[in-house]
Amino acid sequence: MIDRKTDALINDLSADAAPVKRLATPLMRAFATLAGLALFGLVAILLLPHADPLAMRGAGGEMQAGIELVAALLTGTLAVIAAFHVAIPGRSRGWLAVPLPALALWLGLSGLGCWRDIVRSGTSGWELGHSMDCLVFIVTASLVLGVPLAWRLSRAAPIDPLPVAALGGLGIAALSAFLLQFFHPFAVTFLDLAVHVVAVLIVMALASLLRRPMLRPA
């Protein structure tokens, strides 16, 4: 039994069955987007003045900082890939958990570094280093990188935009934090870490609030 109005709707819709451009797989679209963002980041690193090149620090043997950096990059990459998957109807909610181990590693290592900092230099670990600069950097970079990411994600017109926006926000904030390391003095204080976390949360909250205009859900 088919309701008459439903039947009429089916007729209308099938009369309007114009060919559509099929989306590529979420993984392909995520990689293409990440490649674009990487190119943008590379240009930013080359053009913007940065006092303290990464290579020198790596040579200085800051192993843990290196892992931390990789963890941030991994968090951002996985979160962006997950966002592209969650934007498609019927894909697993398991994708929501995919960036979490990398996120835990990233925040854990930063926390450990800060703890050592506190032990070494006492209460000076609580000083607000270049924190505000970092916060502004992460939020600004996220806004700049977030626009093309949101545009790419909106192609799927995600029916449930909140998890897509949250994952996209996490991804873009983590990638911005990764980018920040190229412009950032390495000795982070405890508050610096807190500020990074706050910056990530701000970006995720902004992304969630802006999900409707940015992602244009169906």
Partner 1 sequence: MGPFEVTFSAWEMDLTEAGGDTGEESWGDLLAAAQCGDGNAYRRLLTAATPFIRALARRRVHADDVVEDVVQEVLLTVHRVRHTYEPGRPVEPWLAAITSRRSIDALRRSSRVGARELHNPVAYETFAAPAANNIEASESAKTLARLMEELPPRQKEALELTKLREMSLAEASAASGQSVSSLKVNVHRAIKRLRVEAGKDQLE
In whole angstroms, the minimum distance from the beta carbon of 63 to partner 1 comes to 31
Of 50 and 155, CB closest to partner 1: 155
Task: Specify burial of residue 43 (Cβ count, 10 A radius: 0-12, 13-18, 19+).
Answer: exposed
Contact status: 213 vs partner 1 (CB under 8 A): no
Tell me if residue 188 falls in helix, strand or coil: coil
| Stretch of residues binding partner 1 (CB under 8 A), selected from 3-11, 44-52, 70-78, 132-140 | 3-11
Q: Write out the binding residues for partner 1, residues 20-59 only, by CB under 8 A.
A: 20-23, 25
Burial 103-137 (b: 16+ CB within 10 A, else e): bebbbebbeebbeebeeeeeeebeeebbbeebbeb
Contact status: 94 vs partner 1 (CB under 8 A): yes
The correct pick among 53, 58, 60, 89 for binding partner 1 (CB under 8 A) is: 89
Tell me if residue 15 falls in helix, strand or coil: helix
Tell me which residue of 171, 170, 199 sits closest to 184, measured CA to CA: 199
x-or-dash string of contact with partner 1, 148-167, rule CB under 8 A: --------xx-xx-------
Contact status: 5 vs partner 1 (CB under 8 A): yes
Contact status: 212 vs partner 1 (CB under 8 A): no
Of 132 and 159, CB closest to partner 1: 159
Tokens of 211: 């999900």
